Amino acid sequence: MPSSADLSRTGRVRLLAVPGLVMVLALVLVPVLALGARTFDSASLFGVWSRPGIVDAIGFTIVETILSTAVTIALGLAPAWALSHHSMPGHRFALAVTTVPFMLPTVVVGAAFLGLLPGSVERGLVAVVIAHAYFNVAVVIRTVAPVWATIDPMLVSAARNLGASRTRAFVSITLPLLKPALYSATAIVGFMCATSYGVVRMLGGGNATLEVEVYRRAILFGDIAGASTLAVVQLLVAAICLLVWTGKDRVVFTNAGHRSRRRDHPVARVVAVIATVVTVIPLVALVLSSMRSRGHWTLAGWRLLTSGSNVPGLRLDLIDVLSRSLLFAVIAAAIAVPIGIATSTVSSSRSTILDRVLLLPLGASAVAVGLGIVITYDSSPFDFRSSWWLTPVVHAVVALPFVIRVIQPVHSRIPEHLRSAAATLGASPLRVWATIDVPLISGAIRTAFGLSLAISLGEFGATSFLTRNDTDTLPIAVEQLLGRSGDLARLAGHAVAVVLLLATLIALAFTTRSRHSWSAS
Amino acid sequence: MKTRTFALALASIAAATTVACGSDDSTKLDVTLTIVAYESFTPPEGIFDAFTDETGISVRIVAAGDAGEMIAKATLTAGNPEGDVMWGVDNTLLSRALDADVFDPYVSEVDGLDPDLVATASNIVTPVDYGDVCVNYDVARLEELGIDPPTSFDDLSSPEYRSLLVVPSALTSSTGLAFLLGTIANDPDGWQQTWSDLRDNDVLIVGGWYEAYYTEFSRYGGDRPLVISYASSPPAEILFADPPLPEGSPAPTAVVTSTCFRQIEYAGVLRGSEHVEEARALVDFLVSTTFQESMPESLFVFPANELAKLPTTFATYVQPVTDPLVMDPATIAASRDAWLEEWDAIVG
């Protein structure tokens, strides 16, 4: 129930939702729908569904999404529990490392991952599910752990004392309390898996998701009308899923006032170590592969990066690319974080519909968004097509749902009576916000900033479609180098990938406080 | 869309004014031309300085994605392009650009341009380079296995080469598509049989060139000594070898020349450019020997201008492909979708 102070603020507070909504509208909804409208023809609208492969793609998308999401959630629970229940030296490192795969472009980790799959796992459904779990487990950890940390251990002990088994206590006490966080994680992981492109193309063994099918139709067949039909339908389905989902996902914190004491649990320690090691192996393989060629150790790839390469065909100015990537990341974070704070202010006191709408970019086809932006902003005074700032702005839209997931739970836990007290003492709403809200969410802001940086550094979806004027970012440099044959091309490509890996790791490690996860406080 | 019409009207007034001013002032200073290119267009630093010195026209490059993505965007923005000149549409994609009326017709008449290549360009664009997509093999691994290199498509289906070939999918990779077109050009009536034989001989189909070359090809730790790549890959294997190969050693990989499918790339003036004359001059520069001689080592393609000299690495290590498989862009356009669907049904 909103308090009376709350109601009086509501009108103005609602305005804070505007920037986030405008961004999603302007950079996702309008472009995709404009693409659909521009290329619309009734023949494609119906005809595209009878194309060979479409039905298979829909089937594969559904099966792959359900399996991948279920496996990811199941695998993520143990590390989420471990990382929410104790703090050990290296906790922050463990959190950062398990998040890294989610942030890196598939081509980078995918290849290392491919090399480590046992020979018996052929390309196909199983490989796709394993890879999705590897890439997305971070979402479960980051979403579930902070909620788990707030569950009062007394509740579980009480149940155990009354004779409940461990399983029973988990199922009837812990699980219901985790439900909102699990819903949230399921929505994000589901969207990530349903719109997966790189993993499916690399490991799918000929299977396609709808996203791959959109790409094929638009780029390989040149059937943009068919592709945009699929993309619009995909967006509608995503929107319907979000609407249906809303309402079941109200984050309720039963003990919002106090946090549980963290017990150091030996099993938790083991689980955390295992999760870290499993995540680290492909990353280490990547680092080693940047220094190993034909059975020899070599720094040739790294030298190429540091000497300002003038090797013909492998032109690369690492400092230039790295500084541009960092600049873009800072801009993206500087846009996403304030909008995320504004949105959280609205959605913490209201329902989470808004917060769900802002998830929509994750369910949209990157190909359609990229092509849509090109045709939407193509005439003066809105000819933004080759504006350099378009890239970081799109990064910000991608980062936004994650930023909100960091800030909103913390913000919603601020007791209303603190604000009321300040208001009673004569503080203006802005003053209340600045002196009460901001200090209490400052930790979350820091984490959100780090996540935005990491997401921007690794983004390789819609933005790879935007035409750039000498604006290569790290993932694009990797792609360029790995498009050439020869040892040096491979070594340098992997070395740039390692730079990207390190930059991401640093962004995450410096902004993640130990103890609390996605949402630091 | 009212605002759009208004914007267009404004733009055309602005354009008219510019033209009017231009006729008063004959110098061409202060024009900057934009080349729209695919992502891996990496000409040497400073290569356009000569052009700028001579004409006063500056050049900038905007790039994104591969050639297919570039064409998808170009067809959507035909008449209102993102730049003045497009680099890199190839013969597998050209007809798509022509259907959408992306280009303002211009064929350069620079000396030395290969007339056979020009003949494929429909009098709309100018050929700038070519390259071949062929079966490459790992010389050392085949020697270890005691197998002679294959010499034809048919060899690839013989038991001797069972489970040795890896191919990028024609449905997700332009290299894979080029190889499929090669098999069709090689045997227009029996290519389906070629593929069902390949399938029965355990060909491995992967998503893209990168996975094929860097994860499955035996030279990079995989177990398949035959891979679909480029005729320019063997010289790159020497140029980029680490540790460097001893002076004069043969390339560690080689090409089965009878399987080579020719990809021709074109440059054209984009319809809607406000600097058509200047854009034409830039296309001429792109096929001049100055630019063409820089391409082999920076883009790993062969010059379309026959007067351009090849660098030594290329001259020495490239196996000449004297009789490549070729296919007319119009033929490709007419049947590509049907072929891809048929192909998918055979190997899928």
* 3-class DSSP state of A6: helix
What sign does the dihedral A3-A6-A10-A13 (CA atoms) show?
negative
Residue B76 placed within a domain: yes
Which tokens sit at A198? 């790189």
Domain CATH code at residue B214: 3.40.190.10
Nearest one of B277, B274, B283 to B85, comparing CA atoms: B283
Domains identified in chain B, total number: 2
Query: Are B137 and B247 found together in one domain?
Result: yes
What was the pLDDT predicted at A308?
Answer: 62
Of B75, B215, B241, the CB nearest to A224: B75
Contact: B297, A312; criterion CB under 8 Å? yes
The phi, psi pair for B270, rounded to 5°, reads -80, 130
Which tokens sit at A30? 């309008």
What was the pLDDT predicted at A518?
Answer: 41
Domain CATH code at residue A224: 1.10.3720.10
Q: How confident is the model at residue A177 (pLDDT cuts 50, 70, 90)?
A: confident
Size of interface A-B (CB pairs under 8 A): 175
Q: How confident is the model at residue A257 (pLDDT cuts 50, 70, 90)?
A: very low
Query: Are B162 and B239 found together in one domain?
Result: yes
Contact: A313, B297; criterion CB under 8 Å? yes
Contact yes or no for A228/B72 (Cβ under 8 A): no
Residue B291 placed within a domain: yes
Residue A408 placed within a domain: yes
Between A262 and B159, the higher pLDDT residue? B159
With beta carbons under 8 A apart, name residues in chain B contacting A220. Answer: 68, 171-172, 174, 177, 340
Query: Are B150 and B199 found together in one domain?
Result: yes
Q: Which of A487, A488, A490 to mutate to test the interface with B (most CBs of B within 10 A)?
A: A487
What was the pLDDT predicted at A352?
Answer: 63
What is the rounded CA–CA span in Å between residue B253 and residue B227?
A: 10
Residue of A nearest to B97 (CA): A222
Which range of residues forms the domain containing residue A306? Answer: 4-509
What was the pLDDT predicted at A241?
Answer: 85
Query: Are B187 and B301 found together in one domain?
Result: no
Rounded percentage of chain A residues whose pLDDT exceeds 70: 87
Contact yes or no for A473/A321 (Cβ under 8 A): yes
Which range of residues forms the domain containing residue B270? Answer: 29-130+263-316
With beta carbons under 8 A apart, name residues in chain B contacting A490. Answer: 214, 220
Q: Report long-range pairs for B217-225 (Cβ below 8 Å, ≥24 apart).
A: B217/B136, B217/B138, B217/B166, B218/B138, B218/B141, B219/B138, B219/B141, B219/B252, B219/B253, B220/A490, B221/A115, B222/B166, B224/B163, B224/B164, B224/B165, B224/B166, B225/B137, B225/B138, B225/B141, B225/B142, B225/B145, B225/B164
With beta carbons under 8 A apart, name residues in chain A contacting B93. Answer: 222
Residue A500 placed within a domain: yes
Does residue A145 belong to the interface with chain B, where contact is any CB pair within 8 Å?
no
What pLDDT, in 10s, does the model give residues A394-403?
999 999 988 8
Q: How confident is the model at residue A264 (pLDDT cuts 50, 70, 90)?
A: low
Q: Which residue ranges in chain B fall short of pLDDT 70?
A: 1-29
Rounded percentage of chain A residues whose pLDDT exceeds 90: 26
Query: Are B149 and B86 found together in one domain?
Result: no
The burial class, CB within 10 Å (0-12 / 13-18 / 19+), for B48 is buried
Query: Are B215 and B329 found together in one domain?
Result: yes
For chain B, counts of helices (H) and of strands (E): 16, 10
Residue B9 placed within a domain: no
With beta carbons under 8 A apart, name residues in chain B contacting A203. Answer: 207
Sequence-separated (6 or more) residues with CB below 8 Å from residue A81: A145, A148, A268, A271
Q: How confident is the model at residue A259 (pLDDT cuts 50, 70, 90)?
A: very low
What pLDDT, in 10s, does the model give residues B211-222?
899 989 999 989
Does residue A296 belong to the interface with chain B, where contact is any CB pair within 8 Å?
yes
Residue B178 placed within a domain: yes
With beta carbons under 8 A apart, name residues in chain A contacting B239. Answer: 313, 486
Lowest pLDDT segment from A40-54, A276-290, A419-433, B129-143: A40-54
Lowest pLDDT segment from A199-203, A214-218, A263-267, A387-391: A263-267
What pLDDT, in 10s, does the model give residues A73-131?
999 999 988 888 766 677 778 888 888 888 887 767 777 777 777 766 778 899 899 99
What pLDDT, in 10s, does the model give residues A285-326?
899 989 999 989 999 999 888 776 567 777 778 888 899 999
Only one residue has tokens 């060629």, namely A293
What was the pLDDT predicted at B287?
Answer: 97
Describe chain A by its helix, strand, coil percentages, rounded to 5: 75, 0, 25
Residue B19 placed within a domain: no
pLDDT over 50 at A169, yes or no: yes
Domains identified in chain A, total number: 1
Residue A153 placed within a domain: yes
Does residue A294 belong to the interface with chain B, where contact is any CB pair within 8 Å?
yes
Decide the pairing of beta strands B58-63 and B126-138.
Answer: unpaired
Query: Are B232 and B280 found together in one domain?
Result: no
Does residue A490 belong to the interface with chain B, where contact is any CB pair within 8 Å?
yes
What was the pLDDT predicted at A519?
Answer: 42
Beta bridge pairs of residue B270: B103
Residue of A nearest to B81 (CA): A378
The burial class, CB within 10 Å (0-12 / 13-18 / 19+), for A521 is buried
What is the rounded CA–CA span in Å between residue B264 and residue A248?
A: 56
Beta bridge pairs of residue B206: B168
What was the pLDDT predicted at B311?
Answer: 87
Alpha-carbon gap: B260 to the closest alpha carbon of chain A (Å): 17
Residue of A nearest to B232 (CA): A485
With beta carbons under 8 A apart, name residues in chain B contacting A464. Answer: 64-65
Which tokens sit at A322? 């790295």
Lowest pLDDT segment from A154-158, A409-413, B146-150: A409-413
Contact yes or no for B175/B168 (Cβ under 8 A): yes
What is the rounded CA–CA span in Å between residue A259 and residue B249?
A: 69
* 3-class DSSP state of B21: helix
What was the pLDDT predicted at A45?
Answer: 80
What was the pLDDT predicted at A12?
Answer: 66
Between B269 and A199, the higher pLDDT residue? B269
What was the pLDDT predicted at A88?
Answer: 67
The phi, psi pair for B218, rounded to 5°, reads -65, -25
What is the rounded CA–CA span in Å between residue A193 and residue A212?
A: 12
What was the pLDDT predicted at A277?
Answer: 92
Of A115, A222, A483, the CB nearest to B215: A115
What was the pLDDT predicted at B15?
Answer: 43
Which range of A234-243, A272-281, B252-261 scores highest in mean pLDDT? It is: B252-261
Query: Are B311 and B199 found together in one domain?
Result: no
Query: Are B113 and B39 found together in one domain?
Result: yes
Residue B228 placed within a domain: yes
Query: Are B184 and B329 found together in one domain?
Result: yes
Helix (H) or strand (E) holding A240: helix A224-245
With beta carbons under 8 A apart, name residues in chain A contacting B4. Answer: 379
Averaged pLDDT score across all residues of chain A: 82
What was the pLDDT predicted at B200?
Answer: 96
Does residue B254 belong to the interface with chain A, where contact is any CB pair within 8 Å?
no
